[in-house]
Amino acid sequence: MSFYLAEVPPSDAPAWVVESISALQSACEIELHGEDNSESTPALTVMYANQTDTDKYFLVALAGSALLETIPRAKSSTRSGLPEVPVEGGDMLGCAYLAFPRKDNPHLAEDGWITVDAVHRRRGIGQALWEHLLALTRTQGRTSIIGYTDHARAAEQGDPDALQPPTGTAALPLDAASSFALRCGFSLEQTEQQSSLLMPVPEDVLAGLWEAAAPLAHSYMLRGYVGPTPADLLEGVGPMFAALSSDAPTAGLDWHGESWDAERVARHDAVIAASGVMYNTVALHRATGEVVALTQIMCDHERPDRTFQWSTIVASAHRGHRLGILIKVANLRLLAEEEPRATSVQTWNAAENDHMLAINVALGFRASSLGGVWQRTLSPGSG
């Protein structure tokens, strides 16, 4: 089957193409994991339309070639130089995503991934998408690309083909996804463990963890809220996101911390509110009122049964007081109270993040799959 590549416009994207991307992601999730953890179509639409801090690109492979004759490349108005996706619809064979930060990490292309429909694999679609992402990265003048692969499980112990990250934790199998990343010139830098928690968590489990941790946190008070950050917390929450971007384990990734202020937090919250609901708990230092810890769980409007643990961070000066476990216990209670339809919480952690993984295990999270974090470094004139 012949195919051509096209770009999805960031605003006013045709509904059919976003629905097709969502459906493709959903099919691949079910194929790999037996369950669907993909974003809903509305959430995907909102995420992609938000280009304030990052230039985001969705490229798709569509069946046929006739459209190339009716949409000349020379007349293309897209950022990538590819024709724009047709308004009336088409048969999507694959898609790719890549993001270019505007302010922080201006040397980086990040969050890259490529997905091809199972029926149409090994026909050069993934390679074509990758080659255009690479060309786009070079046009943008970026020198590092970070991409992700998804795997049903870690490599078997003793597997001679296992791919070991430099951190020495949770090796990947040499399967189709990792083989493709290697062919594209990437090096494995880190693995991420996906874990799942059944909801609601038994109250005796939460109460036991709370009682064991609370005596160490008498200098702090917790505050939970649903939805956007209250105005009086915006200034304090910004440094939490900045700390998360710099303190989380990044292995050998060419990643630098981000700058967050109250305005950026408000923009971030507005995007989330358009596609879902965020459940938040912060810890405040009693003496100063300073926000010193934050945890968040995201619930998609379209899929309230399946929720996602997002950011969890404790400021370095306030670690050792069991704040991490306390804010997570409080936030799980908040989620159960506000959204009784939630049946699970999904989370991802760097495989070497022993402290956070231990907290999650204590809460009842169980490992469900493994992700690979890959990097390719470019130099001027390199391929």
pLDDT digits (tens, 9 = 90+) for 9-55: 998 899 999 999 999 999 999 999 888 889 899 999 999 999 999 99
pLDDT digits (tens, 9 = 90+) for 264-283: 999 999 999 999 999 999 99
- Rounded to an integer, what distance in angstroms lies between the CA atom of residue 106 and that of residue 256? 10
pLDDT attached to residue 37: 87
Type and span of the H or E element at 236: helix 234-247
pLDDT digits (tens, 9 = 90+) for 157-198: 889 999 999 987 889 999 999 999 999 999 999 999 999 999
Set out the domains of the chain in order of their start, with CATH numbers: 3-142 (3.40.630.30), 200-342 (3.40.630.30)
Contact 314, 328 (CB under 8 A): no
pLDDT attached to residue 70: 46
- Rounded to an integer, what distance in angstroms lies between the CA atom of residue 25 and that of residue 95? 9
> Which pairs from 67-73 meet CB under 8 Å and 24+ separation?
67/4, 67/6, 68/4
Cα-flanking dihedrals φ and ψ of residue 28, to 5°?
-70, -35
pLDDT attached to residue 247: 85
- Rounded to an integer, what distance in angstroms lies between the CA atom of residue 278 and that of residue 263? 18
pLDDT at 252 over 90: no
Q: In which band, very low, low, confident or very high, does the pLDDT at 77 lie, cut at 50, 70 and 90?
A: low
Q: Average pLDDT for residues 344-349, to the nearest whole number?
A: 95
Both structure tokens of 33 = 């994991």
pLDDT attached to residue 312: 96
**pTM across the whole model:** 0.93
- Rounded to an integer, what distance in angstroms lies between the CA atom of residue 123 and that of residue 308? 34
Type and span of the H or E element at 262: helix 262-275
Residue 260 CB partners (closer than 8 Å, separation 6+): 238, 239, 240, 241, 242, 245
Contact 18, 85 (CB under 8 A): no
For residue 200, say if its preceding peptide bond is cis, omega within 30 degrees of 0: yes
- Rounded to an integer, what distance in angstroms lies between the CA atom of residue 137 and that of residue 146? 11
